[in-house]
Amino acid sequence: MASRYHEVYAGWQSDPEGFWAKAAEDIDWFRRWDKVFDAPAGVYGHWFAGAECNTCFNAVDRHVEGGRADQIALVHDSAVTGTMTRFTYAELKAEIVALAAVLAKLGVEKGDRVIIYMPMVAEAAIAMLACARLGAVHSVVFGGFAATELATRIDDARPKLIISASCGLEPGRVVAYKPLLDGAIDLAGHKPASCLILQRPQLACDTVPGRDIDYADAVSAAKASGTDVPCVPVAATDPLYVLYTSGTTGQPKGVVRDNGGHMVALKWSMQNEFGVAPGEVFWAASDVGWVVGHSYIVYAPLLHGCTTILFEGKPVGTPDAGTFWRVIADHGVVALFTAPTAFRAIKKEDPKGEFVSKHDLSRFRTLFLAGERADPETIRWAEQKLGVPVIDHWWQTETGHPISQNPVGLGMLPVKYGSPCVPMPGFDVRVLDDAGHEVARNTLGNVVLKLPLPPGCLPTLWNADKRFHDAYLAEFPGYYKTADAGYVDDDGYLFIMARTDDIINVAGHRLSTGAMEEVLAEHPDVAECAVIGIADAMKGQIPCGFVVLNSGVTRDIAEIEREVVALVRERIGPVAAFKLVVTIKRLPKTRSGKILRGTMQKIADKEAWAMPATIDDPAILDEITQALATRGIGV
């Protein structure tokens, strides 16, 4: 089939407001908009100003009313516990209404924030939707973060209530959530009025009298009372959620998502970008703590009337490298969305793809990869073993849905390995030099998006309009800075090559090296430090810390390095995957004192590098090379 992409993209370019107004017809509104786009509102404008809606109504209630009551909406498939729970749309609605009744009884109202700190259990999705039902603003915090990170988010979001669980389950390890939750509340200045705790059978926890409430007891009581909780109308421009993501400092950025534009963009993306029809089974193998989990485990598939899979497990080791194929076969998944690192992990365990043939993948049509650069070797392996198109697509927490991809639903364009294909309607992608001038095709530069951003993208940062402006809009006036470097080729295909800031991508997880440096600097024996991301065959990148010790420190260096590793795990969490520290005598710097992190990274990754003209003392780079070589890095 010839692709309709060029025609559809040109249609959006000629009339952006008309394009989104038409897409908005697929959403049920309580009140229609006064303006499709209100340019003077907010930091760069607001979509669907004047409209009223409810995201939970569109994701759940309207399907129950519209003939999907008995269709499976959500499957919780836990490869860790060997259990599977299915909820029809009607059953999902009943769970959401009961939880919303509990939240309302605890005083949660429209606009209040609720933090959700949960593992991959169905109740995490139910909690998000119950908040949406009440017009409360949820903020999901990923389970692999430590108490300090949770505390930072509590202080920024100031939640009325926190929903959590007794434990999460990592392969071979039960993660006790409650001590982390209690620790975070102790650390935080803001104290939530109550905590709703889901007790899991693998590890029960103690509760704090007067503050903690048992999730199951409260929900059963609400069900028994038969309380109905209608969907609360909210403004399309009201926040649905805040999701914190790594910024260039230890202070995470609270990405705000509104209700109306978010629904319109996600609903459009399911059919046109992902090529999935209502009623089909869609699986995003991510975590609800990340944007992929928000958009493509919970909201988009449900808004579209699909069945969605919430999978608790890993691509390997739960129990083996065939788990993904088992899930696809068991549930009739038509499209899987995951990060390339998951496929690298599978490929390492099962290079010949022998597990693939053990399962019936006849209904499986497309594999989508995002979250980090998809290396051509992994794409080719997946294409060959699965026999389906493999679609690399590029986006960010901030945009909430793909900026560029091969639009399967509009008809596929030719695949170019290493490229997440072409911009989606709504995104006018440009490449600028550091002075803000557009560069020629095939020239590397700063990838930016011409304002306004389309519906579904962040309108601002939580309580931080100025930070939003300064971080994203100030450097290139009229454009949103993605902080990715890349180029556009002669056919208009994008190539995303690297970040231009201190963010690194570890196993598809977005982490700030600046935040890690802040932790390293806290160690009493550390005088100076630098953290860089170095190439890793499986995780894409891993962090590598360099420390210079205070003069006069005579303690065992290996012991200090172990302490530094433990400190990052304690402060940021296991997700940082920070395991490598190299002690050096001095850091390489420019004459003005800037640490040459880029050159250090090139040495570690065995990339060609030139001696920086402004380097203070070239001999230091030899010292770095030698120090890395003792760890087998860069040789």
Residues that bind ligand COA (CB under 6 A): 143-144, 168, 170, 175, 286-287, 290, 292, 314-316, 339, 341-342, 345, 371, 506-509, 539, 574-575, 577
Please identify, among the stretches 57-65, 351-359, 393-401, 518-526, the one whose residues bind ligand AMP according to the rule CB under 6 A.
393-401
Which helix or strand (DSSP H or E) is residue 481 part of? Answer: strand 479-488
Question: Which residue type, as a one-letter code, is found at position 583?
Answer: T
399-428 binders of ligand AMP (CB under 6 A): 420
Q: Which of 282, 350, 317, 326 is nearest to 80 (CA)?
A: 317
Q: Which of 175, 172, 181 is nearest to 203 (CA)?
A: 175
Nearer CB in complex with ligand AMP: 258/372:
372
Which helix or strand (DSSP H or E) is residue 161 part of? Answer: strand 161-165
Largest interatomic CA distance in the chain: 75
Interface pick for ligand AMP out of 78, 164, 341, 396 (rule CB under 6 A): 396
Mapped onto helix, strand or coil, the DSSP state of residue 302 is helix
143 binds, among ligand COA, ligand AMP, none (CB under 5 to 8 A by kind): ligand COA
286 binds, among ligand AMP, ligand COA, none (CB under 5 to 8 A by kind): ligand COA
Angle at 511 between CA 507 and CA 512, to 5 degrees: 150
Nearer CB in complex with ligand COA: 52/484:
484
Nearer CB in complex with ligand COA: 114/140:
140
**What minimum distance in Å lies between the beta carbon of 239 and ligand COA?**
22
Using CA atoms, how far apart are residues 525 and 346, in angstroms rounded to an integer? 40
Check if the beta carbon of residue 342 is closer than 8 Å to that of residue 315: yes
Nearer CB in complex with ligand AMP: 170/501:
501
Question: With the CA atoms of 574, 576, 582 and 586 taken in that order, what torsion angle do they form, in degrees rounded to the nearest 10?
Answer: -140
Task: Check the CA dihedral 623-628-631-633 and report its sign.
Answer: negative
**What minimum distance in Å lies between the beta carbon of 314 and ligand COA?**
5
Nearer CB in complex with ligand AMP: 308/397:
397
**What minimum distance in Å lies between the beta carbon of 338 and ligand COA?**
6
Interface pick for ligand AMP out of 112, 392, 502, 517 (rule CB under 6 A): 392
Please identify, among the stretches 128-136, 214-222, 364-372, 542-550, the one whose residues bind ligand AMP according to the rule CB under 6 A.
364-372
Interface pick for ligand AMP out of 58, 166, 194, 245 (rule CB under 6 A): 245
**What minimum distance in Å lies between the beta carbon of 313 and ligand AMP?**
21
**What minimum distance in Å lies between the beta carbon of 322 and ligand COA?**
14
383 binds, among ligand AMP, ligand COA, none (CB under 5 to 8 A by kind): none
Nearer CB in complex with ligand AMP: 396/599:
396
Residue 577 interacting with ligand AMP (CB under 6 A): no
Residue-by-residue DSSP string for 71-116 = SEEEEEEETTTTEEEEEEHHHHHHHHHHHHHHHHHTT--TT-EEEE
Pairing state of beta strands 307-312 and 72-78?
A: parallel
- In b/e form, how buried is each residue of 258-267, taking b as 16+ CB within 10 angstroms? bbbbbbbbbb
341 binds, among ligand AMP, ligand COA, none (CB under 5 to 8 A by kind): ligand COA
Nearer CB in complex with ligand AMP: 331/510:
510
Q: Which of 268, 299, 261, 267 is nearest to 46 (CA)?
A: 261
Distances (CA, A) of 634 to 373, 608, 626, 631: 21, 11, 9, 9
Residue 370 interacting with ligand AMP (CB under 6 A): yes
Pairing state of beta strands 83-88 and 239-245?
A: unpaired
Residue 372 interacting with ligand AMP (CB under 6 A): yes
Pairing state of beta strands 194-198 and 161-165?
A: parallel
Using CA atoms, how far apart are residues 500 and 33, in angstroms rounded to an integer? 38
Check if the beta carbon of residue 612 is closer than 8 Å to that of residue 598: no
Site string for ligand AMP, 451-480 (x = CB under 6 A): ------------------------------
499 binds, among ligand AMP, ligand COA, none (CB under 5 to 8 A by kind): ligand AMP
Check if the beta carbon of residue 547 is closer than 8 Å to that of residue 520: yes
Nearer CB in complex with ligand COA: 144/634:
144
Cross-strand partners of 77: 84, 311
Nearer CB in complex with ligand COA: 143/456:
143
257 binds, among ligand AMP, ligand COA, none (CB under 5 to 8 A by kind): none
Nearer CB in complex with ligand AMP: 371/588:
371
Mapped onto helix, strand or coil, the DSSP state of residue 165 is strand
Mapped onto helix, strand or coil, the DSSP state of residue 473 is helix
**What minimum distance in Å lies between the beta carbon of 508 and ligand AMP?**
8
Which residues, at least 6 apart from 554, have a Cβ–Cβ distance to it below 8 Å? Answer: none
Using CA atoms, how far apart are residues 456 and 562, in angstroms rounded to an integer? 43
577 binds, among ligand AMP, ligand COA, none (CB under 5 to 8 A by kind): ligand COA
* Residue in the block written with tokens 């550091």: 434
Using CA atoms, how far apart are residues 425 and 294, in angstroms rounded to an integer? 21
Please identify, among the stretches 41-49, 152-160, 371-379, 543-551, the one whose residues bind ligand AMP according to the rule CB under 6 A.
371-379
Peptide bond into 452 cis (omega under 30): yes
Site string for ligand AMP, 127-146 (x = CB under 6 A): --------------------
345 binds, among ligand COA, ligand AMP, none (CB under 5 to 8 A by kind): ligand COA
484 binds, among ligand COA, ligand AMP, none (CB under 5 to 8 A by kind): ligand AMP
Interface pick for ligand AMP out of 307, 366, 460, 505 (rule CB under 6 A): 505
**What minimum distance in Å lies between the beta carbon of 420 and ligand AMP?**
4
Residue 499 interacting with ligand AMP (CB under 6 A): yes
154 binds, among ligand COA, ligand AMP, none (CB under 5 to 8 A by kind): none
Find the DSSP H helices in 276-418. Answer: 291-292, 300-303, 323-331, 340-349, 376-386
Interface pick for ligand AMP out of 60, 496, 519, 633 (rule CB under 6 A): 496
Using CA atoms, how far apart are residues 175 and 528, in angstroms rounded to an integer? 33
Nearer CB in complex with ligand COA: 175/627:
175
Residue 295 interacting with ligand AMP (CB under 6 A): no
How many H-runs (helices) and E-runs (strands) does the chain carry?
Answer: 20, 31
Please identify, among the stretches 152-160, 224-232, 386-394, 579-587, the one whose residues bind ligand AMP according to the rule CB under 6 A.
386-394
How many residues are there in the chain? 635
Interface pick for ligand AMP out of 5, 394, 480, 546 (rule CB under 6 A): 394
Peptide bond into 319 cis (omega under 30): yes
Contact footprint for ligand AMP (CB under 6 A): 245, 291, 370-374, 392-394, 396-397, 420, 482, 484, 496, 499, 505, 510
